[in-house]
Every structure is written in structure tokens, then in C-alpha cells.
Structure 1
Amino acid sequence: MTTVSRPETTVGMIYPDHAAEDDYPRAAAWLDVHLPVVHVYGTDLHAVPELLDLGRPERLAEAAEKLAVHRPQAVMWACTSGSFVYGLAGAQQQADQLALATGVPAASTSQAFVAALGELGVHRVAVAASYPQPVATLFVEYLVGAGIDITAMSSAGIDTAAEVGGLTPDYVLDLALSNDHPAADALLIPDTAMRTVQLLPELEAQLGKPVLTANQITIWHGLRLAGAPRHDARLGTLFAP
């Protein structure tokens, strides 16, 4: 009987409901890492009360228990809206509580966006959000609070994560191309419910600038927290050697 070896580097992903979580095993295969995904369940509505409920500490701690069997070196709350909705201080507290529950470094997708922009030395961005306007505005406020200059922000007004998970690659490309801004040094696409991992080279080629997407930067930041960064040009400028 042949034993299949598992990559030594493991970053646990806590993911809300079901939408685009297949981005993680795809990237894991490219990077030769293990990115196990466990799910939390609430409503997938992009509305503030529901998002605050989705990111509750006890909900994330329960998911963290399910990750323990994988012995991760870091854990990510792979949800942008369920973290930035708490604001900068609240998102940090959320991450601190998750780190306490897991015993390893932890962060959220919202924090990963700020870290990735810092890594690239980018301060001016355009945001192409799938969220309804009130939620997209909270993401912009989160970035501004972190010292990021927003040159343009768009809202596609999509109410649920399930709808975002069903978007076609052509729709995602059009969303990006239609909502860039010439003054922006990078474009941000913030929803982990959107499949983007396979589209990054094409997105960056067409826009001529770095594109940061939620699942991409969540993986990148988790690997950094685990002390095991990886490089692969298929995952865009952020992962370039």
C-alpha cells in the first residue's frame, strides 16, 4: 500500500458557507502546501447584522476545533466582509481571539489585504466589490483607516455569497476591467466567495498592474504567518519570485 505524503506546511482556512472554496486546493497543489478548509454556517447575506453574526468569536472558535486535527501552523478567517465589518480594532480583536483559540498565529482576509498592500508598497487602489453598496463602503472605510488611498470604488450590488460563487470568469474579468482607475496602483477584488485564483495572470495582463483578490491574499498571508512563504507566478505579482 502506497502512502501519500502531505506537504509539511499547513495553513487552516475557516470559510463561510460554500461558494469558491475550491480556490484553496487548486492553489495548494501549485504551492505544495496543505490548505484544509472547514466551514462556518450562518446566512450568506451581505448585510451588516448577518455579517457581524457570522464572525462571532464562538462561531470561529468552534470551527478552529475542527482544524486541530490538521495541526496547522497558522489559521486564517477566510472571509473579508465578516472581518472588516468589525472595523480595524474589531478585526484585530477577532484575529487575536482566533489565535488564542488555536494556539497559532491567526488573521483574517481583511487584514491580509492591508498586509499585501504593504508588501507591494502600494497606497492607492481601486476597489471592485461584489457587495451591496453599504457593505462595500465599510470595506473602503476599513482600508482608509489603515492608511490606504481609494481612487475609485464600485459596488456590483450582489446580495449573497452563493450568487457570487456562481459568477462566470467572463463576469469577473469584466468587473475588474470596468472598475479599474488609471490613478490606482493596484486593483482589489475583496470577496472570498468569488473564484479568482485561475484568473490572476489574465487580470494583471489586461490591467497592467497588480490585482489582489480575496482568496489569493488569504493564502499568501497565511503562509507568511506560518513562516513558509511560497512563490508561483500563476498567483500574480504578490506571489512572484
Structure 2
Amino acid sequence: MSTIGILYPGHSAEDDYPWVEGVLREAGYAVRLPVAHTSVGEDAHRVDALLDLGGAARLAEGADRLTRSTPCDALVWACTSGSFVFGWEGAHEQVGGLAARTGLPTTSTSLAFVRAAHRLGLTRVAVAASYPHDVASAFVTFLGRAGIEVTALGSHDILTAAEVGTLGREQVLALADGVDRTGAQAVLVPDTALHTLPWLADLEAHLGTVVLTANQVSLHDGLALLGEVPAVPGLGRLFAEPRRPAPTDGAAA
């Protein structure tokens, strides 16, 4: 059985991961997804707080604690804003530092969004973000560096991950539905603090388009680090068919 370690900041929607372990098991794909909670200074969707959240010392401590207790085959920094605020080069340096420290292939949620879009051939997307506008705009810039055009941006000024984690199904559907989808091939919903995995089929049916969410792409890219990603019913178009990553899909190792 493979093990993908999940580095997760604080406590919000981390229960998406044990839930999806069961879904994968039912689909005949056994994988463990142990979660290690990284430390949080200030829970705030502000650039300064997010740079601290994704700082090397916090990630190293979480990775050391996780790998000491659980042998892992790959590692995911399951945080969108705590990776893209470092910029394109900084996000790669972030996972490169973790990979060098642990010796494990490593990815982050921001890089996972890019790879998911590329795997589906998406070049134009709408972004429905829980963040304030300035933070959400940094994600737009990050996607642009990967050749992905953002046709519309919705931001919701939710300041803390703790509040995001309280949103239920109807609120998540409304958040995703609130962005203009004209000309977009998909809707991207960043923030791993947002529960989304149990509602992916509902999201795509409600919006009538491909939907990529933070915990979904984190899972997919973590699996891709280990080889072919299985087709799993109920986890959205991204998981609709098996996918073997191209060599350029690999994150730092």
C-alpha cells in the first residue's frame, strides 16, 4: 500500500482526506493519506500571514514530524495560498526544499492546480476564490505564469481558514456558482480549507462544467507522483479516466 503524506495547515477541511481514502478503497485503489498539521502563526488570508504560513521552518517541522512517525512514498503541501503567494519560482523552491529534506517526491496545491489544468488541456478558466481580492489576484498571476488565462475572478473576502472550513454544501455550490463562466473551460476553486471532495459531482452538475478544487487536485497530483492515477467515480472530470503523468508533470524529487 502506498502512502502519501499530507502537510496541512491548521484545522479546517482535513477530514476530506480520510473520507476520500474510503472512496479510493471502494474503487480498488488502496492508499494511505496521513495528515500532519503544520503550525499556523496567524490564521488570515493576508499576504504577510500566508508567507509566514508557508515558511520553510514551519514546513520542515511538519515534514519531519510526519516522516518520523509514518514512512511515506510522496509528500503534498496541501495549501494553495501558502504556496502561490511565493510566486512561480518561490513555489517550486518551496517543494524543492521539502523534497531535499525528506528525499520524497513532493508537490503543492498551487502546482497541482497547474498540472491538473494541463492534464485536461485547459487554457481558459474562471476562479471562484474564498480569499480577499488581493490574495485571489496573486493566484491569477501564478496561473498566468503557467500559460493559463483567467477569464473571470470571484473573490469572497473570507479572512480565515477556520471560517472557510465551516461552509456547507449549499454555500460551496453558491461560492463556485458566483463567478462568470463565459468563455471558461472550467472553474477553479482554490483553498484546501474548503470542503469539496464529497460534493465534486454536485459541483460539476450544478455549474455544467469541469470543476477543479484544492483538495481534489492535491490528491490527484500526489497520486501522480507515484505513477498512474486511477479513474474514480464521483471525484469529478479530473478522475474520470486513468491518467499516467508525462515526465514534465513530476514535482520536485
The aligned counterpart of 2:32 is 34
Paired residue type of 2:38: V
Answer whether contact 2:39 2:62 (CA < 8 A) is retained: no
The aligned counterpart of 1:71 is 71
Moved over 2 A (4+): none
The aligned counterpart of 2:57 is 58
Answer whether contact 2:154 2:178 (CA < 8 A) is retained: no
Paired residue type of 1:138: A
Deviations 1:175-196 (A, max 9, x none): 1112141210000000100000
The aligned counterpart of 2:28 is none
The aligned counterpart of 1:233 is 233
Q: Greater shift after overlay, 90-99 or 178-187?
A: 178-187
> Could you tell me the percent identity over the aligned residues?
52
Q: Greater shift after overlay, 170-179 or 64-73?
A: 64-73
C-alpha separation in 1, matches of 2:139 and 2:86: 10
Deviations 1:18-49 (A, max 9, x none): 00000001111111311000011212200011
Following superposition, the deviation at residue 13 of structure 1 comes to 0.4
Q: Greater shift after overlay, 23-32 or 183-192?
A: 23-32
Q: Greater shift after overlay, 178-187 or 13-22?
A: 178-187
Q: Tell me, what secondary structure is at the counterpart of 1:97?
A: helix
Paired residue type of 1:182: T
Structure 2: state its 5+ residue gaps: 26-30, 242-253
Following superposition, the deviation at residue 228 of structure 1 comes to 4.9
Answer whether contact 2:6 2:76 (CA < 8 A) is retained: yes
- TM-score normalized with structure 1 length: 0.95
2:27 is the counterpart of 1:45: no
Answer whether contact 1:10 1:36 (CA < 8 A) is retained: yes
Deviations 1:188-218 (A, max 9, x none): 0001000001110011112221100000100
C-alpha separation in 2, matches of 1:51 and 1:178: 25
C-alpha separation in 1, matches of 2:178 and 2:89: 32
Answer whether contact 1:128 1:180 (CA < 8 A) is retained: no
Answer whether contact 2:173 2:206 (CA < 8 A) is retained: no
Q: Tell me, what secondary structure is at the counterpart of 1:181?
A: coil
Structure 1: state its 5+ residue gaps: 1-7
2:123 is the counterpart of 1:129: no
Paired residue type of 1:19: S
The aligned counterpart of 1:91 is 91
- TM-score normalized with structure 2 length: 0.90
Answer whether contact 1:48 1:85 (CA < 8 A) is retained: yes
Cα RMSD (Å): 0.9
